[in-house]
């Protein structure tokens, strides 16, 4: 019975580690110089509410220890919660904006029936994602370029908790904000009644974005290529020989949904370059960085990343 339980927990951890790899780094099985080895005990996760929205709201009362020490709050308003002794600290600043997420380039895991679970991550880091955060009072939601689902959570003083449901698993970001333009924390997760009590470190910095008409300099070569891709999406048809086979296959899987989303946003207005991210496979020397843009439509915005070829003009593209 114990062996079956260990095997079941190991399977759940494999699922979680795969999700962490997609967000925080590239999975590798070999020991690398300078890696940090983190023993990750498993614990039973609290039963999650059936409604993810309620679970996100419940994260405001999460009493877990913060992943990084928060600075002393010197100018803050503290409001009592009706019917409870719990207090939520509200700072006079906003986290709304675009954030670049930096994390280990390589993530590895070892799962043993008797040795437990160990997560290894490299000391070398890279820019993995760009996320748009939107704050309303103490509520916070996030849309990230490389995360299929949005994340929702809350802010209490300098502490942030965000959760995203991916199938049966939950990704959890816990971070502190040492300044109004930086976040430091960890990404962990839970699945099917089990949660990881350790996590992968991340650091995020807030981007200062200039519009194309505000002295941002000449347009990057990838901008016209991105516009061509957006035109293909709007038409629901991919131009032959424009895409690498893998990029074309990924686009075709979601082309109908993407076309519907774009149609609801109205005409394309502008594309604004944000920054470069690591390619999909950071250790493949053939892959070039992903160039990320904010795409402005008449009725809203999207985030899109494009990696120009060779061999094809578009080696990789992703939009959220």
Task: Please report the pLDDT score of residue 137 as a whole number.
Answer: 94
165 & 244 share domain = no
With residue 177 as reference, give the H or E element that holds it. Answer: strand 169-179
Dist CA 33 CA 139 (whole Å): 41
Same-domain check for residues 48 and 148 = yes
Longest dimension (CA), the chain: 66
Task: Choose one of 157, 179, 206: the last residue of a domain.
Answer: 206
Residue 164, pLDDT > 70, answer yes
Judgement on whether residues 261 and 174 belong to the same structural domain of the protein: no
Instruction: Classify residue 48 as exposed, middle or buried by CB count within 10 Å of its CB (0-12, 13-18, 19+).
Output: middle
Tell whether the model's pLDDT for residue 52 goes beyond 50: no
Instruction: Give the residue carrying structure tokens 């048809």.
Output: 237
The verdict on 165 and 229 lying in the same domain is no
User: Tokens in use for 265?
Assistant: 């946003």
Q: What is the CATH number of the domain that holds 246?
A: 3.10.450
- Has residue 232 been placed in a domain? yes
Let me know if residue 28 belongs to a domain: yes
Residue numbers of the domain that contains 290: 222-319
Task: Give the total number of structural domains in the chain.
Answer: 2
**What pLDDT is stored for residue 28 in this prediction?**
43
Residue 165 has pLDDT above 60, yes or no: yes
Do 168 and 52 reside in the same domain of the chain? yes
**Alpha helix stretches (DSSP H) within the chain:** 2-24, 52-58, 222-235, 245-265
Instruction: Provide the pLDDT confidence category of residue 267 given band limits of 50, 70 and 90.
Output: very high
- Spatial distance between the Cα atoms of 52 and 149, rounded to a whole number of angstroms: 12
Question: Which has more confidence, 56 or 256?
Answer: 256
Residue carrying the six token digits 């160039």: 291
Query: Do residues 279 and 308 both lie within one domain?
Result: yes
Is 211 within the bounds of a domain?
Answer: no
Q: How many whole angstroms separate alpha carbon 191 and alpha carbon 78?
A: 34
Q: Does residue 18 share a domain with residue 125?
A: yes
Residue 319, SS3? strand
Q: Is residue 215 part of a domain?
A: no
* Residue-level pLDDT at 210: 75
If residue 293 lies in a helix (H) or strand (E), which one and from where to where? Answer: strand 290-297
- Residue 230 sits in the same domain as residue 133: no
> Which of 147, 177, 206 marks a domain boundary?
206
**How far apart are the C-alpha atoms of 143 and 45, rounded to whole Å?**
25
Residue 213 lies in a domain: no
Q: Does 156 reside within a domain?
A: yes
Residues 200 and 238 in one domain: no
Tell whether 8 and 149 lie within a shared domain: yes
Looking at 158, 173, 206, the residue that finishes a domain is 206
Residue 22, classed as helix, strand or coil, is: helix
Place of tokens 């709201």: 57
- Rounded mean pLDDT of 211-223? 72
How far is it, in rounded angstroms, from Cα 144 to Cα 147? 5
3-35 confidence digits (pLDDT tens): 545 545 555 555 555 555 555 544 444 444 555
Has residue 217 been placed in a domain?
A: no
pLDDT tens for each residue of 65-110: 333 333 333 333 334 444 444 444 444 578 999 999 999 988 776 6
């Amino acid at each position: 019975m114990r062996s079956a339980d260990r095997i079941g927990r190991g399977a759940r951890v494999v699922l979680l580690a795969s999700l962490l790899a997609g967000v925080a780094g590239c999975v590798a099985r070999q020991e690398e110089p300078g890696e940090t080895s983190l023993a990750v005990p498993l614990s039973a996760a609290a039963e999650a509410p059936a409604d993810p929205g309620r679970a996100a709201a419940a994260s405001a009362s999460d009493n877990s220890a913060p992943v990084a020490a928060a600075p002393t709050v010197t100018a803050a308003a503290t409001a009592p919660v009706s019917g409870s002794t719990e207090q939520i600290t509200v700072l006079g600043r906003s986290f709304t904006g675009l954030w670049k997420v930096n994390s280990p380039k390589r993530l590895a895991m070892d799962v043993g029936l008797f040795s437990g679970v160990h997560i290894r991550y490299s000391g070398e880091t890279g820019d993995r994602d760009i996320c748009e955060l939107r704050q309303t009072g103490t509520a916070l939601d996030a849309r990230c370029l490389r995360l299929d689902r949005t994340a929702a959570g809350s802010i209490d003083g300098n502490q942030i908790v965000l959760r995203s449901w991916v199938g049966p698993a939950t990704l959890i970001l816990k971070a502190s904000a040492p300044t109004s333009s930086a976040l430091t924390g960890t990404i962990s997760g839970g699945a099917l009644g089990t949660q990881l009590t350790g996590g992968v470190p991340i650091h995020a910095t807030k981007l200062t974005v200039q519009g194309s008409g505000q002295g941002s300099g000449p347009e990057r070569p990838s901008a016209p290529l991105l516009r061509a891709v957006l035109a293909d999406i709007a038409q629901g048809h991919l131009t032959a020989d424009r895409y690498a086979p893998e990029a074309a296959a990924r686009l075709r899987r979601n082309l109908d949904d993407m076309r519907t989303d774009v149609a609801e946003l109205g005409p394309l207005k502008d594309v604004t370059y944000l920054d470069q991210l690591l390619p999909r496979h950071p250790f493949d020397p053939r892959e070039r960085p992903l160039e990320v843009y904010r795409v402005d439509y008449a009725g809203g915005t999207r985030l899109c990343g494009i990696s120009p070829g060779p061999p094809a003009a578009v080696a990789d593209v992703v939009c959220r």
